[in-house]
Structure 1
Amino acid sequence: MQNMTDKTVAVVKGLIMDGVAKANSGHPGGAMSSADFATILFSEFLRFNPDDPSWFNRDRFILSAGHESMLLYGLLHLNGFISMDDIKNFRQLGSLTPGHPEVHLTPGVEATTGPLGQGFAMSVGFAAAEAHLRARLGEEAMNHFTYALASDGDLQEPIALGAAALAGLWNLGKLVVFYDSNKIQLAGPTCKADCTDHKKVFEGLCWQVIEVDGHDHEAIRAALNAARDEADKPTLIIGHTVMAKGCATLEGSHKTHGEPLKADEIAATKKKLGLPDEAFHVPADVLDAYRARFDSLRSEAALWQTRVDAKLDEDADFAALWAHATRPRPELSIKWPAFTPGESMATRQAWGKCLDAVSGSLPTLVGGSADLDPSNQTMTFRTTYGDFGVDGHKARNLAFGVREFPMAAIMNGMQLHGGLLPFGATFLTFSDYCRNAIRMSALQDLPVLYVFTHDSFWVGEDGPTHQPIEHVSSLRLIPDLIDLRPADANETAVCLDIALKQPRHPSCLFLTRQGLPVLDPAEYPSIVEGPRRGAYVLQDCEGEPDLIIIASGSEVSLALATARLFKRKVRVVSMPSAKLFDDQPESYKNEVLPPQVTPRAAAEAGRTGLWHKYVGRDGVVLGLDHFGASAPGKTLSDNYGFTPENFARMIREKYEELT
């Protein structure tokens, strides 16, 4: 006679087959091979509130193998978080069950996954956030596990190993990853593409590694208990499984990875699994057994709330930190430092001064640099607050090492967890390494802060490998990503305020290596609030301008100097953020850039193409559409024509009426 766990696993597999078949699209094989582990985890181990999928102290489960989404949806249905109609609308327009899990759509989904390896890395971010908050708030308020389910493909992506190295170093003992090692991927057996001994690799990365038969329920339970007993090391449970386990004739076939099973195969498989030949079958006894512990889960969540409420009343320090951890970002109150007008200061240096000035009043601000602490101006933050993991879990600096992609994905996980304000820094040219995780920040509505220094050819002698050309323009193509390229120290502070108070959009801060003059707010009063609208009139003229010069970042000072070379009426517009300006009402955009004023020019030390959106098809753009060279920054600036005299010459050649 079939026991209840076997029956529940069979029902979950039936939902997987039926959902994929009805959609005529999806990935049944891996979901079926992972079903034993995931069903036992959800039904016996996972702590959550059946009435509140967003309960703060819940265990987190991240399906890194996002293509196995029907497995997760089946379990979320048993949790009561989504309906059977949702299951039946798998992969359909407007449904709560898209092809890959999306965090903003579906209750119980913790992260948007699909790009392999990133769910694994995000789970490290979740676990890091939990460890840090537990160390500072206490176990009464924060004490949960982070579980992830990874596939062969996840571990083939190098981001997973980069993140795993940090998880081991950081002693993330409450991170448990189940590796569904079914040894099959879309193109066939994994042996054609991989020979990695993951047990040796992960033990070398300071993980506890447990190998089990991934279909042996008692072995799975024992592995999960052993993982939860290990306080210091993260745990990798390697589950040796069979692709499409339970299928009538296709067990082990790579054809089941990305194709629906045929009707006759589904019927034969259901018979083999002891299921009736009906679609979307969930019997009452399975549902009752699965939900038998729900009352105790509710009681645990209520008891947690009682403990937190008592601590809020009794402990002022806890209450203050709790307020920071739970306060909506737009409500943050931040006092930024003042800067001396006329002083020469790189905007990366201004960022460092801002960070040092506000980090004490923003206790949940955490982050670090990809091994560029002095260059990224995070060294004082690091020495003040210590290195997370190495100096304990209360430390606030994250020493990511040379791991830009894992850094970005880990920040996404920390932001998804909640309670912290994460930032990460590197050179702008290395944003390419971060790019897909940045895209995932935007896709998941995560207000993560990316700090990119050394933003142009002014990097100088390091040469073209380190001199970004296309990067700012390229990042501006990502929907819902806020680009912030400040003109001076004052704009840098405003841009940081914009980024940290964002409720949902990630921000990229583009900062100079070279010194720029600090503009005087008394002379340019619009600099105080103007950046919040993306672009604003920095310097104006009497009446309607004859010429509008637009610039971002380091080229704003160049624009001001160029304007002084004309005896005509010139308006200078600073545009730190094209995204924020584009989002403004048409009336404001026309106020800043009057449509009837067609003589326009723009300057930015990067690709020119996107600027024609603002200056017109025939407008003048001073930029760079080729790679740089190894030479001092000033030499390159002169050589590439980034001088007031050359910029003015280009404008006069185009608009003869301005001569």
Structure 2
Amino acid sequence: MTQMTDKTIAVVKGLIMDGVAKANSGHPGGAMSSSDYATILFSEFLNTNPDDTKWFNRDRFIMAAGHESMLLYSLLHLNGLLSLDDLKEFRQLGSRTPGHPEVNETPGVEATSGPLGQGFAVSVGFAAAEAHLRDKLGSDVMDHYTYAVSCDGDIQEPVALGAASLAGLWGLGKLIIYYDSNKIQLASPCSQVDCTDHRKVFEGMCWQVLEVDGHNQDEIRAAIKEGQLETGKPTLIIGHTTMAKGCATMEGSHKTHGSPLSTEEISATKEKLGLPAENFYVPEDVVANFQSRFDGLRKNAADWQAVVDEKLGDPEFASMWKEVTMPRSERKIDWPEFTPGETMATRKAWGACLNSVMESLPTLVGGSADLDPSNQTQHFRDTYGDFGVTGYGSRNLAFGVREFPMAAIMNGLQLHGGLMPFGATFLTFADYCRNAIRMSALQKLPVLYVFTHDSFWVGEDGPTHQPIEHVSSLRLIPDLIDLRPADAMETAVCLDIAITQEEMPSTIFLTRQGLPVLDPAEYPAVTDGPRKGGYVLKDCDGTPDLILIGSGSEVALCLETAKVLKRKVRVVSMPSTKLFDDQPESYKNEVLPPEVTARAAAEAGRTPLWYKYVGLNGVVLGLDHFGASAPGKILSDKYGFTPENFARMIREKY
């Protein structure tokens, strides 16, 4: 075993060097120092289905140190999932081997792990999903491990430690993360930037911590087995390794972190490793040995399927299995009704919607970043308990004051499959979540971000808590649905859009202040119009003299302003600029006829985006400065968010 393992590891290191050299770009050093652990894990421990990379109960592996992608691709080649030609196209346009692992580009890649820290946090989401579904489906159906390879830079990112704290609290015993501690990062030795005792830190966060020589095969195997035996705590295996282990002259050099090795260094290293000089060398015996477990893995998968087929005879299991496997787009949800004319904050409408549908959506899981009463998730939490604290079957995820870990963990929950995650906080804290939101969009993950307290109407908490630029900023992220409903009716439609979405994440922006509930008898389009992003809420006879466009709380302002103006006015509600922009040009011209150039828009946030819809000479009522600490109504008057002031601005222009 040792001789063949040595040979396999050498071959993997040869592929890493050759792939990076051919691309003239990449990170060979860390990939080589992690090769011993990753090769043993893939060849001896991972439980997968060789014929189905999406088999539901497969062990999940996340390359959290995404710059070590060439290591993962080399192992996927030995698994038969990538060809040598794929490896030769490393980092090239259109290849299946991009610079960092991309979940939608490469078979066998579980998560897009680019920004350091997030792969670690995402793995916590995977493990949480496994634990919850194990409780719901039974350990004979869901019992896989989640493995990840992390690195020094990965651990330095605070998002990793925030997620680690939750993993420890939740007791995710089937999470095993290998920390390749080669003590070198891109620009320097780690000693120049870090003095952390990671054993103490992780043990303090309720992890089992094991330390091994990361190049000792027996210690690696023993640590993985010990991690598997610990069922009440996640396991961190700290592998003390040497950067670019095996290199002829550059072992331990930070110069190997982010640059290809020279031709001379590669040649000398191959000789040292006992490899021939040829590039992309993969002998048949290494492949055969690596795949020697395949028949047994196939039998495991077949036995698992037989268990599922038998359990489908149980109506309770069959019902839950249907929920777990149902495409989101096929869901038909009965949303609550609201009383026209009442005043209700859209955050309360969200809470009412959540409370109404949570029983009929048993795979809906999520929670708040320590803002349950404000985010209207308190009843959900009280009803279903806190995951990992009151039980793995509990559906509320109490994230604490950890917005970035919350968002990254949600990505892991969604990537795992079988669950519909949501997370809530104040809109001003969206900046903490932002890079994970971007990763949601990049990976086509339909997670739901609930952001309440969406404008200066937050009031007395002051400018630190009053979002100004946040909605416009989030709209800059491609393939992210922005939803800012005008009232309770639109809130329900917007939530239906988000919950039934298959490939795009959604951000919903909700008010603290009350808004009038629109009457479908007077505004019939409100019941379905939001699905197209923007729609005619109230029209006039004939061609309008003026079009008013509003979003969220400013739709009511537009309706009142139309009354003050006493002109032929069309009022357009635009809860989602993304969905509106995606409509056919013919529809957009129906809503905003090009011949009607007198236009005005209102939104309690930054103004530049709205000139896209009103024209460069149009009128935009917004906020391009920070707020102040005062009651919301006083700020509304001060900043001119009144029908009288909006009408004055329009009259002065048109």
**Residue 7 of structure 1: aligned partner:** 7
- The structural deviation recorded for 1:333 is 1.3
Is the counterpart of residue 460 in structure 1 residue 466 in structure 2? no
1:147-546 equivalences in 2 (<5 Å): 147-313=147-313, 315-546=314-545
For 1:566 and 1:427, the matched residues in 2 are separated by: 35
For 1:582 and 1:531, the matched residues in 2 are separated by: 13
Q: Using structure 2 for the length normalisation, give the TM-score.
A: 1.00
For 2:432 and 2:372, the matched residues in 1 are separated by: 18
**Residue 594 of structure 1: aligned partner:** 593
What one-letter code is carried by the residue in structure 2 that aligns with 1:325? Answer: V
What one-letter code is carried by the residue in structure 1 that aligns with 2:441? Answer: A
- The structural deviation recorded for 1:565 is 1.0
For 2:271 and 2:467, the matched residues in 1 are separated by: 60
- Post-superposition CA distance 1:145-185 (Å, at most 9, x none): 00010000000000000000000000100000000000000
For 2:361 and 2:393, the matched residues in 1 are separated by: 14
What one-letter code is carried by the residue in structure 2 that aligns with 1:138? Answer: G
What one-letter code is carried by the residue in structure 2 that aligns with 1:636? Answer: L
For 1:228 and 1:19, the matched residues in 2 are separated by: 33
Is the counterpart of residue 562 in structure 1 residue 554 in structure 2? no
For 1:602 and 1:542, the matched residues in 2 are separated by: 21
Is the counterpart of residue 549 in structure 1 residue 548 in structure 2? yes
- Post-superposition CA distance 1:587-633 (Å, at most 9, x none): 00000000000000000000000000000001000000000000000
For 2:160 and 2:290, the matched residues in 1 are separated by: 32
Identity across matched positions, percent? 77
- The structural deviation recorded for 1:240 is 0.1
What one-letter code is carried by the residue in structure 1 that aligns with 2:61? Answer: F
For 1:567 and 1:21, the matched residues in 2 are separated by: 71
For 2:35 and 2:26, the matched residues in 1 are separated by: 16
Unaligned 5+ runs, structure 2: none
For 1:299 and 1:551, the matched residues in 2 are separated by: 59
For 1:333 and 1:366, the matched residues in 2 are separated by: 18
- Post-superposition CA distance 1:637-658 (Å, at most 9, x none): 0000000000000000001xxx
- The structural deviation recorded for 1:470 is 0.1
**Residue 611 of structure 1: aligned partner:** 610
What one-letter code is carried by the residue in structure 2 that aligns with 1:533? Answer: K
Secondary structure of residue in 2 paired with 1:423: strand
- Post-superposition CA distance 1:444-495 (Å, at most 9, x none): 0000000000000000000000000000000000000000000000000000
- The structural deviation recorded for 1:569 is 0.5
- Post-superposition CA distance 1:3-57 (Å, at most 9, x none): 0000000000000000000000000000000000000000000010111111110
For 1:567 and 1:124, the matched residues in 2 are separated by: 57
For 2:339 and 2:527, the matched residues in 1 are separated by: 14
- Post-superposition CA distance 1:248-268 (Å, at most 9, x none): 000000000000001110011
- Post-superposition CA distance 1:315-337 (Å, at most 9, x none): 11111111011000000111000
**Residue 94 of structure 2: aligned partner:** 94
- Post-superposition CA distance 1:352-384 (Å, at most 9, x none): 000000000000000000000000000000000
What one-letter code is carried by the residue in structure 2 that aligns with 1:344? Answer: T
For 1:611 and 1:473, the matched residues in 2 are separated by: 9
1:38-49 equivalences in 2 (<5 Å): 38-49=38-49
For 1:135 and 1:214, the matched residues in 2 are separated by: 34
Secondary structure of residue in 1 paired with 2:312: helix
What one-letter code is carried by the residue in structure 2 that aligns with 1:100? Answer: H
Is the counterpart of residue 643 in structure 1 residue 636 in structure 2? no
What one-letter code is carried by the residue in structure 2 that aligns with 1:508? Answer: T
- The structural deviation recorded for 1:140 is 1.5
**Residue 131 of structure 2: aligned partner:** 131
What one-letter code is carried by the residue in structure 1 that aligns with 2:392? Answer: H
For 1:461 and 1:404, the matched residues in 2 are separated by: 22
- The structural deviation recorded for 1:567 is 2.3
Unaligned 5+ runs, structure 1: none
For 1:20 and 1:222, the matched residues in 2 are separated by: 31
For 1:247 and 1:637, the matched residues in 2 are separated by: 66
For 1:613 and 1:368, the matched residues in 2 are separated by: 35
- The structural deviation recorded for 1:2 is 7.1
For 1:471 and 1:499, the matched residues in 2 are separated by: 19
Secondary structure of residue in 2 paired with 1:31: helix
What one-letter code is carried by the residue in structure 2 that aligns with 1:78? Answer: L
What one-letter code is carried by the residue in structure 1 that aligns with 2:451? Answer: F
Name the count of aligned residue pairs.
654
For 1:390 and 1:168, the matched residues in 2 are separated by: 11
- The structural deviation recorded for 1:214 is 0.2
For 1:81 and 1:327, the matched residues in 2 are separated by: 27
- The structural deviation recorded for 1:82 is 1.0
Is the counterpart of residue 145 in structure 1 residue 140 in structure 2? no
Is the counterpart of residue 50 in structure 1 residue 71 in structure 2? no
Secondary structure of residue in 1 paired with 2:282: coil
For 2:39 and 2:208, the matched residues in 1 are separated by: 23
For 2:528 and 2:340, the matched residues in 1 are separated by: 17
For 2:576 and 2:303, the matched residues in 1 are separated by: 47
Secondary structure of residue in 1 paired with 2:177: strand
What one-letter code is carried by the residue in structure 2 that aligns with 1:319? Answer: A
Secondary structure of residue in 1 paired with 2:17: helix
For 2:292 and 2:584, the matched residues in 1 are separated by: 54
For 2:450 and 2:347, the matched residues in 1 are separated by: 9
For 2:554 and 2:596, the matched residues in 1 are separated by: 21
- Post-superposition CA distance 1:382-427 (Å, at most 9, x none): 0000000000100000000000000000000000000000000000
- The structural deviation recorded for 1:83 is 0.9
For 1:464 and 1:471, the matched residues in 2 are separated by: 13
**Residue 34 of structure 1: aligned partner:** 34
**Residue 633 of structure 2: aligned partner:** 634
Secondary structure of residue in 1 paired with 2:460: coil
For 1:417 and 1:522, the matched residues in 2 are separated by: 43
For 1:298 and 1:130, the matched residues in 2 are separated by: 21
- The structural deviation recorded for 1:103 is 0.1
- The structural deviation recorded for 1:560 is 0.1
For 2:6 and 2:163, the matched residues in 1 are separated by: 34
**Residue 575 of structure 1: aligned partner:** 574
- Post-superposition CA distance 1:268-295 (Å, at most 9, x none): 1001001011000000110111111100
For 1:141 and 1:618, the matched residues in 2 are separated by: 62
For 1:224 and 1:629, the matched residues in 2 are separated by: 55
What one-letter code is carried by the residue in structure 2 that aligns with 1:375? Answer: S
- The structural deviation recorded for 1:62 is 0.3
For 1:486 and 1:343, the matched residues in 2 are separated by: 16
- The structural deviation recorded for 1:347 is 0.1
What one-letter code is carried by the residue in structure 1 that aligns with 2:12? Answer: V
For 1:333 and 1:30, the matched residues in 2 are separated by: 48
